[in-house]
Structure 1
Amino acid sequence: MGKQVRKGKFITIEGIDGAGKTTQVEKLCEYIKNKGKRVIRAREPGGTALGEQLRKVLLDPDSNPVSTAEALIYAASRAQILEKLVIPAIKEGFFVVCDRFVDSSLAYQGFARGLGFNRILQLNKWVLNGYWPDITFVLDVDPEIALKRLTRGKDRLERESLEFHIKVREGFLKLKDEFPERIRIIDASKSKDEIFKDIVMELERSGIFN
């Protein structure tokens, strides 16, 4: 984590497609608000005008960027949301809760796409410039279960093979070893309320509200 003075906090929720991230982001934002804190909800890719345009490119089933281009587009979207939303917000004392962030690139492009963890890490170290999340929750669930939860029209990544999603999950679990102080693994095979209870327990234990 960088040495920048932070009045607010930066929380990210990660996991494979179908893990239930969006639901938990919504519940967590409401919880933080009820704690008397100012909170901003974000998502990645997206969160800014440019980011939303890049999101359309990345998730469009008809687009087919090569792996390196995919990684660079995600990095561009990340740079935009950091400069335009995340950094200004935490400097003003807001809690920012983001649906996906840097760990998705490390798991999807670094591990599942085979671009290499260190290669994607170095790219994103340049983009983040020290602004790593304060705490990250990885919602862990069997990919077969997760993919069955996807009932809407599937985007480009959701349409990937089961084998691909298995590799993504493995990538997320390996990240816990790389960032043990930041990442918390949450069992996402439970009910929505049980998952949220586990997130809150870890969040309170972290002392982030102190």
Structure 2
Amino acid sequence: MFITIEGIDGSGKTTLVNSLRKIFDNIHFTREPTDKFQLANLKTLSTPFNSFYNFFLFTYDRLEHQDEINGFKNVICDRYLASSIAYEGPMIEELFGDKKETVLWMLEVSKMLKLPDMIIYLDAHLDVALERIRNSRKNLNFRGKQLSILEEKEGLKAIQDYYEYFLGNIEMFTKKQIKIERINANSPMEDVLYKAKNIINKTIEK
């Protein structure tokens, strides 16, 4: 069973995954980008061509990740393909001019990759996510670029819109029945953890 956990920055995703690691010793936990990924190679300036370039970097890292993902019966991955679609899609769309064509192209490039059986999506309100981001770091930034609060909110909104579009049409895009489990990430972390734990317990292979 291959489960990925997704959500915008500030949704509590990494906190949740770290808590789940302490509960499930029969699940292999991994994340993307992997430890092999060279963050220094990322293009930090937000432009369509830089997002295009970054998407290929993440896809190559994901391709190298396949042996690890396929090597265990139960795997939970902190971010996966949906993250690339959500984070790189808004800028790449400026090259294609259409959201659907953008997602279809990104999936075509990724067609050699294993798709998850389930995606747990942490659904956070933008203001809640921004407040958490502000509390967790002094400066608002994206890949090294200093952002104003307005820029950060606009960026998160574009990412969230792509998540919603892709997850809402995932069967049409992937031709696979991928179960989507949404958790209200505005709730306290103990509530989010309780719901995620129950979902996983009902899903993983014993």
One-letter identity of the residue aligned with 2:179: R
Residue 105 of structure 2 corresponds to which residue in structure 1? 119
Give the Å deviation of 1:80: 1.3
Written as runs of structure 1 = structure 2, the 5 A alignment for 1:158-197 is: 159=147, 161-179=152-170, 181-197=178-194
- SS for the counterpart of 1:118 is helix
Q: Sequence identity of aligned pairs in percent?
A: 27
* Structure 1 residues 161 and 155, CA gap change in structure 2 (3 angstroms): closer
Residue 175 of structure 2 corresponds to which residue in structure 1? none
* Structure 1 residues 56 and 199, CA gap change in structure 2 (3 angstroms): farther
Give the Å deviation of 1:173: 1.8
Written as runs of structure 1 = structure 2, the 5 A alignment for 1:87-166 is: 87=70, 89-90=71-72, 93=73, 95-111=74-90, 113-114=92-93, 116-126=102-112, 128=113, 131-150=114-133, 151-152=136-137, 154-156=141-143, 159=147, 161-166=152-157
Give the Å deviation of 1:204: 3.3
Q: Give the number of aligned pairs.
A: 184
- The answer on whether the counterparts of 1:10 and 1:97 sit within 8 Å (CA) in structure 2 is yes
One-letter identity of the residue aligned with 1:204: N
* Mapped pair 1:204 → 2:201: yes
* Mapped pair 1:46 → 2:8: no
- Where in structure 2 are there 5+ consecutive unaligned residues? 97-101, 172-177
One-letter identity of the residue aligned with 2:143: R
Give the Å deviation of 1:73: 0.9
- Where in structure 1 are there 5+ consecutive unaligned residues? 1-8
Give the Å deviation of 1:61: 5.1
- The answer on whether the counterparts of 2:52 and 2:92 sit within 8 Å (CA) in structure 1 is no
- The answer on whether the counterparts of 1:139 and 1:185 sit within 8 Å (CA) in structure 2 is yes
- The answer on whether the counterparts of 2:31 and 2:78 sit within 8 Å (CA) in structure 1 is yes
Residue 20 of structure 1 corresponds to which residue in structure 2? 12
Describe the superposition over 1:61-115 as per-residue Cα deviations: whole angstroms up to 9, x where unpaired. 57977121011111111111123x222x22xx3x322110001112222346425
- The CA RMSD over aligned residues, in Å, is 2.6
One-letter identity of the residue aligned with 2:7: G
Equivalent residue for 1:57, pick from 41, 46, 66? 41
* Structure 1 residues 189 and 56, CA gap change in structure 2 (3 angstroms): farther
- SS for the counterpart of 1:66 is helix
Residue 22 of structure 2 corresponds to which residue in structure 1? 30
One-letter identity of the residue aligned with 1:23: T
Q: Which runs of 4+ in 1 moved over 6 A?
A: 62-65
One-letter identity of the residue aligned with 2:204: I
* Structure 1 residues 142 and 78, CA gap change in structure 2 (3 angstroms): same
TM-score of the two chains, using structure 2 as the length reference: 0.77
- SS for the counterpart of 1:17 is coil
